[in-house]
Structure 1
């Protein structure tokens, strides 16, 4: 990465542990704002607080839809989207968990209809909003990942394929990303989330074609990047 590379803009700074305290959230938001990250995601009950704190910044607010399991009916997912859209235009990014149960059941018609319906709904409401589909690669076989990517490739309103929620049984791997890229090439952007804690990981994923990261360690990785640059 070049020295003038704006590393902060490839991170959605994320803290979504179920046991996170309000003090941790407040400190995390403050630090993320200081580092001028691309986006911030916190437990959804704290959205109004984050909106207030980021009001005079360009930082985006990221929300998860049907997070982290994805098996609610499509109608419920749309109601979630409506609610968050009603709060503020600063809530720009909708990271939607697809129905993994339907994927594991090979119910591809359901999966395709869900992705089409949700992505079109988001863009019809506001074309400037970002639609990311979380496919939870850590729970899928290579064949299932490829099938999902083939479906998403046919959905023009989907902006990103996101690898995971961070709540799965393992972290995202380079092989996961290579499998995604083998289908979509550069026709869809890729966001990696789940186990991203070091600059080395970020560098490897960038080389593999990833353009965005969700991480609770975003600010530490940014520090690591700048320390490395100063040492050159």
Structure 2
């Protein structure tokens, strides 16, 4: 138990506090109105942070709840043109999005088009800011090696200041890892942006232990498609994780 006691000597959130840090993602292409209505019910009953949707479902959801609603842009791989992303973003804002989770174009960065990569991100952040909408920029750590992931984050944060950087989409081939969060948090701190830019961990997060490890690594928000199951699991293991912490 010594390792567990050391790792979780920090205070972990209560289940209720964790719920308030969870974004519920409803992004499967086959999700319809029945899934949307169930997600809205969970959003309100569990007091989740936000519900993240496709622009199509966002249009339907705004009439169902006054709670936080977000939309994805350039999802899931981000290789859309900047013009199409801007239009998608503007549409989502028009549909009532409170937050935007936008996938950055790693193809540009890998191809050496650093300025185009930065300019796209800057444009998306500026449109969000002009409309008082929170912006999360996604650099999918599952798609690239750790070095390139760090370099892409450094490039973004050298030129723009989103509300959050986000570690994945859930379509990248592996779950997000604590190291992904640590890298993002370290780049934020190195840029002097701690407290101004936060970290959202997302991608394959399904268990309470995953959530605890990611929070311990520095995640401010957890994205998951299974909030109820995750919270039930977290509630069951929390006493074990904190039994030696003081």
**Shorter chain as normaliser: what TM range?**
0.7 to 0.9
Q: What is the aligned length?
A: 225
Alpha-carbon shift at residue 212 of structure 1 (Å): 0.5
SS in 2 for 1:183: helix
Q: Which residue of 2 aligns with 1:93?
A: 99
- Give the whole-Å Cα distance in 2 for the aligned partners of 1:31 and 1:210: 22
Of 62, 73, 77, the residue aligned with 2:70 is 62
- Give the whole-Å Cα distance in 2 for the aligned partners of 1:141 and 1:224: 30
Of 180, 203, 217, the residue aligned with 1:176 is 180
Alpha-carbon shift at residue 86 of structure 1 (Å): 1.5
- Give the whole-Å Cα distance in 1 for the aligned partners of 2:204 and 2:185: 20
Q: Which residue of 1 aligns with 2:233?
A: 224
TM-score relative to the length of structure 1: 0.88
Q: Which residue of 1 aligns with 2:114?
A: 108
Between stretches 22-31 and 145-154, larger displacement belongs to 22-31
Distance 1:183 1:25, change over 3 A: same
- Give the whole-Å Cα distance in 2 for the aligned partners of 1:230 and 1:147: 38
- Give the whole-Å Cα distance in 2 for the aligned partners of 1:5 and 1:34: 11
Between stretches 18-27 and 199-208, larger displacement belongs to 18-27
1:108-127 superposed Cα distances (whole Å, 9 cap, x missing partner):
11111111122112212x2x
Q: Which residue of 1 aligns with 2:53?
A: 42
> Structure 2: which 5+ runs fail to align?
1-11
Q: CA RMSD in A?
A: 2.1
Q: Which residue of 1 aligns with 2:19?
A: 8
Alpha-carbon shift at residue 48 of structure 1 (Å): 2.8
Contact 1:104 1:140 (C-alpha < 8 Å) held by counterparts: no
Alpha-carbon shift at residue 193 of structure 1 (Å): 0.9
Of 24, 29, 41, the residue aligned with 2:35 is 24
- Give the whole-Å Cα distance in 1 for the aligned partners of 2:50 and 2:127: 22
TM-score relative to the length of structure 2: 0.83
